Amino acid sequence: MKLSYLAGAVAAATLALTGCGGSDGDSTKYSNVSFAVSDAPVDTAESVTVAFSQIELKKDDGTRVLLDVTPSDPNKDYEQIDLLDYQGMESAVILTSEPVPVGVYKELILLIYPEDGLNYVTQEGIQEPLKQPSNKLKLGSFEVSEQVDGTTQAFTIEFDLRKSLVERGTGAQNGYILKPHGVTIVDNATSGSLSGDVTTSLYTTGGGCSEESSYSNSYVYLYKGFHDESNLVDLVDPLDPNFDDSGLLLPEAAVAPFASAPVSDANSYQFGYLAPGEYTVAFSCKADGDDSIQYDGLTIPNPTGQLHEVTITAGNPSVQDFGTL
């Protein structure tokens, strides 16, 4: 085990001793947590492989917990996963069950093992490096609650790769990075899901759809809240340093997608691990190649009228089909 991992183990041990009633009489409560990863796929990649080594948790009060992942191979100190193998409701556990202090954490940081050849994207048979700045992916907040029955609180880190996977520099030859944009942390116990079927006639109906359109061109977009179609736009990230507003102007009242999912060859789609709430879901027959940073001006929904309001509830799978006009 490397020195950095030993330091993490010592830090975790110190927290555990304090929580059990150290010299200062602290009565910190602990709950066991587990973490898994899942994804919504990117347009053209054949694999997005990442070697996760540690998970760092930070609280506002300065509490810091550093946890080693649980490798499937005990001879390794990382877990290497192809995210494209775990789509929809499929997930891969990277930390089985570890005690951490109860409370709200302002940040979760995924540490990525930096060894050459372990992190990469394969596209059209060509393998390109995935090099994460500082070998860290800093994500948002989440809450560890007290589990009175001693169960493990399970979280899933959901990657929307259409939003989070971006090229470095000016082309794929420079490799890729993962951005926090499009990565969410979901408590499995309070999450829901959304899936549905798409009538094949929608591929060739309406503006922009043609005989060449098929499931491979089609995507379903998910937006937080209820919206009419006038303000719905494609994937865009105005906060990205490479965002360029010199071309198409992003509408002032634009509502950007929370997530997107491809239509499969079975003419269906799926969003897994969604927080409860109100959403708008919209179909587009021609949305392949949607740039995750720039505004492309895609028509959503396409055909017009192909959107629905859905309410996701904890622990329940929701179904919304897209049919003929």
Dist. CA 92–CA 19, nearest whole Å: 30
pLDDT for the residue 205? 73
pLDDT of 169? 67
Q: How confident is the model at residue 217 (pLDDT cuts 50, 70, 90)?
A: confident
Identify the CATH assignment for 193-319 out of 2.60.40, 3.30.70, 3.30.1490, 2.40.128: 2.60.40
Q: Could you give the CA distance from residue 24 to residue 291 in angstroms, rounded to a whole number? A: 54
Q: Give domain limits for the chain.
A: 3-190, 193-319
Q: Output the six-digit token pair for 47.
A: 């694999």
The pLDDT of 161-166, averaged and rounded, is: 92
What's the whole-number average pLDDT of the chain? Answer: 87
Average pLDDT over residues 232-251: 91
Please report the pLDDT score of residue 1 as a whole number: 29
Bigger pLDDT: 158 vs 10 = 158
**Beta-strand pair 120-123/47-58:** antiparallel
Closest by Cα among 130, 220, 143 to 179: 130
Q: What is the mean pLDDT of residues 53-81?
A: 95
Distances (CA, A) of 243 to 138, 218, 237, 248: 20, 25, 7, 11
| DSSP secondary structure, 246-285, as one string | SSSPPPTT-B--SEEEEPPTTSEEEEEEE-SEEEEEEEES
Segment (H or E) for 163: helix 161-164
Q: Cβ atoms within 10 A of the Cβ of 156, count?
A: 23
pLDDT band at 184 (very low <50, low <70, confident <90, very high): very high
What are the tokens at 316? 């329940």
Q: Please list, in sequence order, all residues whose beta carbon lies within 8 angstroms of the beta carbon of residue 101, skipping any fewer than 6 positions away.
A: 15, 19, 28, 29, 30, 59, 63, 65, 144
User: What is the pLDDT averaged over residues 134-143?
Assistant: 96
pLDDT in tens, 274-314: 999 999 999 999 898 899 999 999 999 999 999 999 999 99
